[in-house]
Amino acid sequence: AKYVDHVIVPSHHFAKKLQDQGVTKPLTVLSNGLEESVLQSLTMSKPRKYTSEEKLKIMWCGRMSPEKRPLEFLKAIRQLSNVEVDMYGDSIAMNSVKRYIRRYKLHGVVTLHGSVPQKAVLEAMKTHHVFVSSSYDFDNQPMVLLEAVATGLPVVYCDPDLGEVIPAKGSIVTESPDAAGLVKAFKHLQANPTLVGRMSKAMLAARVNTAQVSHLDQLVDIYTSILRK
């Protein structure tokens, strides 16, 4: 960053981290946004419906690596009942995840799908009640959270910094970033099933804010201003 003319970063919390590390160059916070084609393909997304008689369908998606904390998520799942979990993604922690599932006999609860195309992720988001982000003090602006907003999928997340990515009324930040915090958040949804529908509506109402087109205009303006110098 010391050798560039301008720094662009997708989130305010990560911008602060860069500045705290000594970055002094001009800096703009500009969301990545979702491609218009993605939003157009999701026009049929509807608010989620969930009842206490159903299994709470939880979706996890991301790089299967330690910083995403998939094992912390699975520790929480062990303490829950009447849930159905789908995990999407692959990387160096996959073997650890598989061993954990075998050790604690979670095969009937957790399904691993591995790495899948974006289209498959978006389709899966339409069929779940809630999405979970278990990472903490690591992520910048996860695209998967923007996708969750666009599909109307409520989110439970551990890192308060990520609150700037998703609407407060469409999400729950855990009281603590550990498994106990996740368990409490999921049990709250199970005890208040209509909350899922209200959170989903809030997400769909905010989906316009995820569009990339306005961000592209701002990006061009930044490049233009630099080239004029």
Structure confidence at residue 184 as a pLDDT band (50, 70, 90): very high
- Is a pLDDT exceeding 90 seen at residue 215? no
| Interior/surface letters 141-157, b for 16+ CB within 10 angstroms, e for the rest | bbbbbbbbbbbbbbbbb
Query: Which position has the higher pLDDT, 183 or 2?
Result: 183
Quote helix, strand, coil % in the chain, to nearest 5.
Answer: 45, 15, 40
- Is a pLDDT exceeding 80 seen at residue 70? yes
Quickly count: other Cβ atoms within 10 Å of residue 36's Cβ: 12
Give the pLDDT score at 80.
98
Give the pLDDT score at 69.
98
Give the pLDDT score at 114.
97
Q: Which amino acid is at 162?
A: L
Nearest to 113 by CA among 60, 70, 151: 60
- Is a pLDDT exceeding 90 seen at residue 66? yes
Indicate the range of 10-19, 35-44, 81-90, 161-170 predicted with least confidence: 35-44
Give the pLDDT score at 39.
82
Give the pLDDT score at 44.
62
What's the whole-number mean pLDDT along residues 153-164?
A: 96
Give the pLDDT score at 13.
94
Give the pLDDT score at 186.
98
Mean pLDDT of the chain: 94
What's the whole-number mean pLDDT along residues 97-109?
A: 97
Token pair in block for residue 175: 């009281």
Give the pLDDT score at 155.
98
pLDDT digits (tens, 9 = 90+) for 8-65: 999 999 999 999 999 999 999 998 888 888 888 776 668 999 999 999 999 999 999 9
HEC assignment per residue over 121-185: HHHHHCCCCEEEECCCCCCCCCHHHHHHHHHCCCEEECCHHHHHCCCHHHEEECCCCCHHHHHHH
Token pair in block for residue 102: 């075998």
Q: Which amino acid is at 87?
A: M
Phi, psi dihedrals of residue 17, rounded to the nearest 5°: -65, -40
Non-local CB neighbours of 29 within 8 Å, separated by 6+ positions: 8, 9, 10, 11, 12, 15
What's the whole-number mean pLDDT along residues 88-117?
A: 97
